[in-house]
Every structure is written in structure tokens, then in C-alpha cells.
């Protein structure tokens, strides 16, 4: 029997589709309360956040994660109910099994074991949980960070339990993430009849050379920690739906995933220069959802890689690939942030699952990490 596996099952059984927490954080809080954790509920809109801290002195080590999950999709495509955890063929199935209720369960049991073994440990250990990571992420971790900053509560080390492993537990940790900058570009033309193009100005034709240049531009070459910045069109729309009408405007949705070799401001300026040079009548609405962050090798990365190797025998690769996470908010008040969790191959998929054999080793890695930083 595995205490961590049992808790993971309990969490999966709560249908916490973002932003609904469905009682997950209350379950965690009731486990931590008897151990002397100071519990703080930080609610914002429909979102539940939990800040649970044991100890008052630095250094402060934070275990951060989310209790919300993405919708399960068509239930009939699942072999079993996504919110009724099922063990099958050595795997635990259910929505959130990999992303990231197993990590939350491992956080809890690791913290419990650490405090019981070291009731007078140096420094502090805290859990930060939100139900707004899979959603718009405006009422979740960012709100807790704002509260901590307002009262000058500094985090020294943070591990985010995102599913970072690729082929087996421990093969990859993330020590940074790229930034994310989105734009909604409108190119204006003149609507008209396709039989009289001289009386119209087709914004698709006008914008095509500029879009081709944007797609071909080398924004930067990256650096030793990050791949080069990329620009991608995610949606393009023009026209009324009729085949005989030249559209009056073109709408293009695009996104930059950018490294520390560029800034949001420099990318915006280069886009403006290209559009202006092509003589377009244009407007852009910008949305910066994440700044890039990087944790250099130091106490946290070294302690985590050592703990992984002790438990699994695996030498972890340190990587900055992938999308965004709540680490981007925590990095604003914490100098060392890393992400580590289970294999991510099934996240957001039908029949999401985690290898049962990886559940207790994950908790043991977190426990050893706490020991190296605080014991």
C-alpha cells in the first residue's frame, strides 16, 4: 500500500475542472493542520488558493502546484470514468493523474514525513496550491505572489510539480521557461466584389508578403539555456464566407515563444518595423502572458539532481523546453525555481495516467530535496 497513491486517488476522484477546486485543497489542509502548518485561504473570484507554511524563518522552500485539471473531453472515449481513479496494467488512470495530482499528493506526503522527522527543522517549508493554472491564470498563483510580496514574504527555493519527465521518472527537470507574447493583428483593406478588384483592396494579398517575412525572420539565436525565439500564426481569418466578396480586413492571431535573448519590447518593435515597411494599414492588440525566467545551476538544481539520482539512479537533464507554468509568477519573488514531476506523455489526453511504480519514488525525491535544503 502507498500513502501517496491513496491520496492521489482521492484527489483524482474530485472533479476539479478549472477553475473548480472541488474540495482538493480542503483535503490537503486537513492533513497538514495537525502538523502545525499555518493555513491561509486566498480566494479570488471562482478560484481557490492555499498557502500552508510550517516554520517562520528563512530559508523558505515552497512546493507549488495546482489542483485544477483540464476538461476530460468525450467521456465515451475513456476506458473508465475520468474521475473514478482506476489501476490497470501498472498504471493509475484518471484526469489529473499526471498533470498534476500525483505530484500534489507527493508534495503532501513528503511534507508530512519531513515535519514528523524534523519537527524543529531549520527554515520553513510551504505548499502553494491553486485551482487556476489550467485556466486563464489571473486569480491563482499570481494572487498569492502578490500577497506574499505585499508583506515582504520572500521565497528562497521553489519546486513546481509539473510533469517534466519524458521517458522515465527523473530524466528531465526544467530550470526555466520561455516567455509568451501574443498578438491580434488586424490588417485593413477595402471590401468589394471579386469581379472588380480595382475598386477594392484585398488585405490578404496586401499582408501576405509581410506575413512571409515575419515567418522567415530570425528573431534571435537563443543562448546556452534557450532555443531561438519562434513566431507562429495560430489563427487567420478574413471574408464574409461568400466566394464573391473581397474581404475588408484580415485578422491574424500569432504568438512568440521567446528566450532571454529577446525582450517583449524588442519583438514588438521589430514587428512594427516590418508591417510599416510593407505599407500596411494595421493595428495590433498585444498580450504578454509570461516573461522568460531561468534558474542557473546552484543549491536548488544541485540538490534536486542529487535527490533524483539517489532515488532513481537517473542523471537528470536540465531543460527549458515546453510551454509556460506558474513558475513564471513565482520567479518574480524567488531566485531559484525549478519544475519536476512525473512522465508527461499522457497529459491532457484521453486515458491520462501515471505509472504506479513512480508514485512513491516521486514523494521520496521531494522528501530528500527538503532534507538537503532544510535538515
Residues annotated as catalytic are 68, 133
Which residues share a beta bridge with 309?
none
Helix (H) or strand (E) holding 355: strand 353-355
The three cell numbers locating residue 70: 483540464
Coil vs helix vs strand at 356 = helix
201 and 190 Cβ atoms separated by less than 8 Å: yes
Q: How many Å is the Cα radius of gyration of the chain?
A: 24
Whose cell is 505599407? That residue is 279
CA distance 85 to 97: 8
345 and 352 Cβ atoms separated by less than 8 Å: no
CA distance 52 to 26: 11
4 and 109 Cβ atoms separated by less than 8 Å: yes
The three cell numbers locating residue 293: 525566467
| Cα separation of the two ends of the chain | 27
Whose cell is 489563427? That residue is 235
DSSP for 170-198?
Answer: TSEEESEE-EEEEEEEEEE-B-EETT-GG
Closest to 16 (Cα-Cα) out of 105, 83, 77, 102: 83
The three cell numbers locating residue 208: 501576405
Amino acid at each position: 500500500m502507498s500513502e501517496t497513491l491513496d491520496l492521489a486517488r482521492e484527489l483524482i476522484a474530485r472533479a476539479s475542472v478549472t477553475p473548480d477546486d472541488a474540495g482538493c485543497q480542503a483535503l490537503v489542509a486537513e492533513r497538514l493542520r495537525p502538523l502545525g502548518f499555518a493555513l491561509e485561504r486566498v480566494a479570488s473570484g471562482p478560484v481557490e488558493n492555499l498557502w500552508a507554511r510550517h516554520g517562520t524563518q528563512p530559508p523558505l522552500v515552497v512546493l507549488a502546484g495546482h489542483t485544477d485539471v483540464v476538461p476530460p473531453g468525450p467521456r465515451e472515449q475513456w476506458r473508465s470514468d475520468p474521475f473514478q481513479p482506476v489501476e490497470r496494467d501498472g498504471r493509475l488512470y484518471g484526469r489529473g493523474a499526471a498533470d498534476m495530482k500525483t505530484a500534489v499528493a507527493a508534495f503532501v506526503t513528503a511534507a508530512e514525513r519531513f515535519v514528523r522527522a524534523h519537527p524543529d527543522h531549520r527554515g520553513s517549508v510551504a505548499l502553494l496550491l491553486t485551482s487556476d493554472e489550467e485556466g486563464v491564470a489571473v486569480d491563482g498563483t499570481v494572487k498569492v505572489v502578490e500577497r506574499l510580496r505585499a508583506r515582504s514574504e520572500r521565497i528562497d527555493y521553489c519546486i513546481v510539480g509539473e510533469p517534466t519527465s519524458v521517458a522515465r521518472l527523473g530524466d528531465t527537470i526544467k530550470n526555466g521557461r520561455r516567455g509568451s507574447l501574443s498578438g491580434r493583428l488586424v490588417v485593413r483593406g477595402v471590401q468589394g466584389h471579386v469581379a472588380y478588384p480595382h475598386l477594392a483592396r484585398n488585405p490578404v494579398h496586401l499582408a501576405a508578403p509581410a506575413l512571409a517575412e515575419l515567418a522567415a525572420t530570425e528573431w534571435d539565436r537563443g543562448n546556452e539555456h534557450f532555443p531561438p525565439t519562434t513566431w507562429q500564426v495560430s489563427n487567420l481569418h478574413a471574408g464574409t464566407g461568400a466566394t464573391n466578396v473581397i474581404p475588408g480586413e484580415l485578422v491574424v492571431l500569432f504568438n512568440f515563444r521567446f528566450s532571454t535573448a529577446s525582450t517583449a519590447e524588442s519583438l514588438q518593435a521589430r514587428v512594427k518595423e516590418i508591417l510599416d515597411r510593407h505599407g500596411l494599414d494595421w493595428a495590433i492588440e498585444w498580450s504578454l502572458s509570461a516573461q522568460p525566467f531561468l534558474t542557473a545551476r546552484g543549491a536548488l538544481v544541485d540538490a534536486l539532481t542529487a535527490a533524483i539520482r539517489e532515488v532513481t539512479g537517473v542523471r537528470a537533464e536540465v531543460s527549458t523546453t515546453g510551454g509556460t507554468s506558474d513558475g513564471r509568477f513565482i520567479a518574480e519573488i524567488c531566485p531559484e525555481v525549478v519544475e519536476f514531476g512525473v512522465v508527461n506523455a499522457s497529459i491532457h489526453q484521453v486515458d491520462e495516467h501515471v505509472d504506479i511504480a513512480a508514485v512513491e519514488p516521486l514523494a521520496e525525491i521531494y522528501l530528500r530535496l527538503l532534507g538537503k535544503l532544510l535538515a
